[in-house]
Structure 1
Amino acid sequence: MRVSAGGERVRIVLDGGASVSRVSIGAATIALVKEGRIDTASLQHLTFSGAPDGLVLAAGAPLWSDPVALSIPDGGVVSVSLYLLEPIQVPQADPQLIVEVAPGGDQTAAAELTDSRRVVARPLLTTIHVDNPEVDRVIVAFGDSITDGTGSRDPLMRGWPDYLAERMRAEGMKNVAIINHGIGGNRLLQDSVGQSALARLDRDVLAMPGVTDLILLEGINDLGLSGLTLPGMHEPFPAVEAKDIIAAYTQIIQRAHTRGIRVIGATLTPDLGSPFPGYATEEKDVIRNEINEWIRNSGAFDAIIDFDTAVRDPENPAYLLKAYDAGDRIHPSDAGYKAMAAAIDLDLFR
């Protein structure tokens, strides 16, 4: 995982969610990654409430590690290894969430796992907290797969939040950290892949230490699934109108403002041409544009970012620009994510 702002002490947060009833931890380590390999010279053993093992993670409850000394550079990559004493089942997630698993004994101190394989799954590791006294601005990027970075070819550059952090480092903005809380397939109004944005706001934004700003880019999956009946479903998803999305945005703004957090609204990016039947239609694009006009002109947000304008085809604005399309007409490519990051006025965070 890439850390936007480095520091000298670090701790991790594990959370299996409500669907994982029990996780028994035998050992845990954290280390820097250099040239694609775990740097064992930097490896530190993690403890939880002073104990190195035997901790049980309960369903729905986060488990924080004790802080450990580890010098992480800004934009540095770290690896976390866990030895689990019992097998677990975790929910499947989008292709951005890849973990490496290996059978047998404790390999948490190894540079490479023996007999390992990669699986797509929701990882137990949810957050890495780095102590950095220089950081006085913490931004949460809150959204779905377009925030999570689906479509990116670089597994260590997760979408526009990482490219934004890269821009900020180049500008010497060492006081800013970015948390990526995008979940592929997530929706604003209803649970799907993970809890809805309305339901997870407390955990993923309001409970994060030091959060000052929230960038909200969510709602395209609500529109896409509106009225659709997927295999195995007996009834279609409820129809979603612009007023439903706007009401949810208003709730998020109000809840964040009670904590003194600025909310920056981001316009929904185009998705016409999607290969998923019924997901993107001209009728749904009318609703998307209605939502975007409200984001731009209502004055409800503390500031706005116009991602729609940044990545759409000027000749066919209901479509992603071909150079910015990862291939499915929904998710941006790395070039598209860079364009999104470039569309953000850094003065918003100075």
Structure 2
Amino acid sequence: MKRFLIITGCLLASALVQAGETSGRWVATWATSQQLTEPHNLPPAPGFAEATVRQKLRVSIGGEQFRVRFSNEFGNGPVTFESVHVALADGFADAKIQAGTSRALTFRGATAVTLPPGANVISDPVDAPLAPMADLAITLVTKGAPSDVTGHPGSRTTSYFAYGQVAPGAEDLSDAVRTDHWYFVASIDVLTSQPAAAVAILGDSITDGRGSTTNGNDRWPDILSQRLRANPATAQVAVLNHGVGGGRVLRDGLGVSALRRFDRDVLAQPGVKWLVILEGVNDLGTAAPENAAQTAQDLIAAYDQMITRAHDHGLKVYGATIMPLGGFTMYDVPEREAARQTVNAWIRTGGRFDAVIDFDAVARDPANPARLSAATDGGDHLHLSAEGYKIIAGSIDLGLFEAGGCECDKKGR
């Protein structure tokens, strides 16, 4: 068996080396939360009929081998991938991949795989090293898809659909149809002998990156990943972005609630050691004003439950305060602002989180704390700008993710 070397920003090494047996553990290096794709977020016609679908993404940590997970969780019928190829992406501006880097994924040795409704599948390991921060292109060949499609609408990354006789390993899909959504790709794991671990970030559209740059990889978890990679003490900490646009903690919204997806998006991810929770503004914002105070208490109870469940699995849990909603027309009423203050006070002083990441203090306007500052406001007074995401990500103490975690841990973990 032979293996090839993937190096970000460099051409594939021409020399192939004999693969030896690799020992280590699997750690997730990239993930995205799966949702039922709304009709307006489906690809243009003919969609998945006789399609070659290329999707791009950037991982966090590297490893000696890697594998890809696909999901048909919300499908109302099976989906078949006639073949799946993975390659180094040649940037994000178009459908190009780096020459000579494409290879087929297999599933128990087969190049085709069918996912029944509700099922996930993990590819066979790719016997090749994957570099930190590598840009990957995953190309699916589909004959069709169920009417209920599993995906992640808020990819902030362009996917490419080509039709006709197109080789999945083609270096470019020059006539491809573009759409800014991901479909079926759920996560990527790396096998590493390094002392690696992952932080899962549970959030809503702010974590999902609304207001960031399409194909720019400048969501706040992306910036955090860059900072972790640049710090030797945290270079082996992966970042998993489980933000869902419109997501809520207590009730389903555009995606399932945080309470419902908690096991899937946090506990089931290999190698997770830390959890950051930044979610709740949509619960408060969609609560009737007269119910806002009770919603705050329900949110606190939900956080408490998630902390308990995470601690049972040995995770440290960091609470991020909810940032201002003042000026966002649909949410801005005094009762909701009072509820936000109640929730943030509990996050800061309740003693249940292992540490607090005070995004509210960083992002708010000092002269009007109920509103985002001009430096962070993305324009709608709820979501942040690309610069705002950089500011909040830059405020995080990387020491929280060093060996041993935070000094505040009183529970022996």
The answer to whether the aligner puts 1:289 opposite 2:316 as a matched pair is no
Paired residue for 1:339?
391
Change beyond 3 A, Cα 1:46–1:269: same
Deviation of the 1:122 alpha carbon: 5.0
The answer to whether the aligner puts 1:103 opposite 2:157 as a matched pair is no
Q: Which moved more, 1:107-116 or 1:253-262?
A: 107-116
Change beyond 3 A, Cα 1:156–1:133: farther
2 CA distance for matches of 1:239 and 1:96?
34
Code of the aligned partner of 1:6: G
| Partner-residue secondary structure (3-state), 1:242 | helix
2 CA distance for matches of 1:184 and 1:271?
16
Deviation of the 1:106 alpha carbon: 4.4
Code of the aligned partner of 1:227: A
| Partner-residue secondary structure (3-state), 1:189 | coil
| Partner-residue secondary structure (3-state), 1:42 | coil
Higher relative contact order (CA 8 A, sep 6+): 2
Correspondent of 1:6 among 42, 62, 65:
62
Ranges in structure 2 where 5+ consecutive residues have no aligned partner:
1-56, 403-413
Q: Which moved more, 1:161-170 or 1:80-89?
A: 80-89
Deviation of the 1:246 alpha carbon: 0.3
Correspondent of 1:348 among 393, 400, 410:
400
2 CA distance for matches of 1:284 and 1:148?
23
Deviation of the 1:239 alpha carbon: 8.6
Q: 1:26-45 maps to which residues of 2 (within 5 A)?
A: 26-36=82-92, 37-45=96-104
Deviation of the 1:56 alpha carbon: 1.1
Deviation of the 1:98 alpha carbon: 4.4
Change beyond 3 A, Cα 1:162–1:20: farther
Q: 1:44-59 maps to which residues of 2 (within 5 A)?
A: 44-53=103-112, 55-59=113-117
Residue pair 1:24, 1:85 contacting (<8 A) in 2 also: yes
Residue pair 2:156, 2:181 contacting (<8 A) in 1 also: no
| Partner-residue secondary structure (3-state), 1:269 | coil
Q: 1:162-311 maps to which residues of 2 (within 5 A)?
A: 162-172=222-232, 173-227=234-288, 241-275=295-329, 277=330, 279-311=331-363
Code of the aligned partner of 1:126: A
Code of the aligned partner of 1:11: R
Deviations 1:236-293 (A, max 9, x none): x999521010011011001111111111111011121114x3x232221111111001
Residue pair 1:6, 1:71 contacting (<8 A) in 2 also: yes
Q: Which moved more, 1:197-206 or 1:124-133?
A: 124-133
Change beyond 3 A, Cα 1:151–1:240: farther
| Partner-residue secondary structure (3-state), 1:246 | helix
2 CA distance for matches of 1:135 and 1:86?
41
2 CA distance for matches of 1:238 and 1:304?
23
Deviation of the 1:199 alpha carbon: 0.5
Paired residue for 1:63?
121
| Partner-residue secondary structure (3-state), 1:344 | coil
- Sequence identity (%): 40
Q: 1:64-83 maps to which residues of 2 (within 5 A)?
A: 64-83=122-141
Deviation of the 1:115 alpha carbon: 2.9
Deviation of the 1:121 alpha carbon: 4.2
Greater C-alpha Rg: 2
CA RMSD of aligned residues (A): 2.2
| Partner-residue secondary structure (3-state), 2:170 | coil
1 CA distance for matches of 2:368 and 2:75?
43
| Partner-residue secondary structure (3-state), 1:274 | coil
Deviations 1:18-74 (A, max 9, x none): 244211110101111234431131212101122101x21112211111111333321
Correspondent of 1:130 among 190, 203, 219:
190
Residue pair 2:322, 2:359 contacting (<8 A) in 1 also: yes
Ranges in structure 1 where 5+ consecutive residues have no aligned partner:
229-236
Change beyond 3 A, Cα 1:22–1:210: same
| Partner-residue secondary structure (3-state), 1:139 | strand
Q: Which moved more, 1:136-145 or 1:109-118?
A: 109-118
Q: Which moved more, 1:312-321 or 1:104-113?
A: 104-113
| Partner-residue secondary structure (3-state), 1:34 | coil
| Partner-residue secondary structure (3-state), 1:118 | strand
| Partner-residue secondary structure (3-state), 1:69 | coil
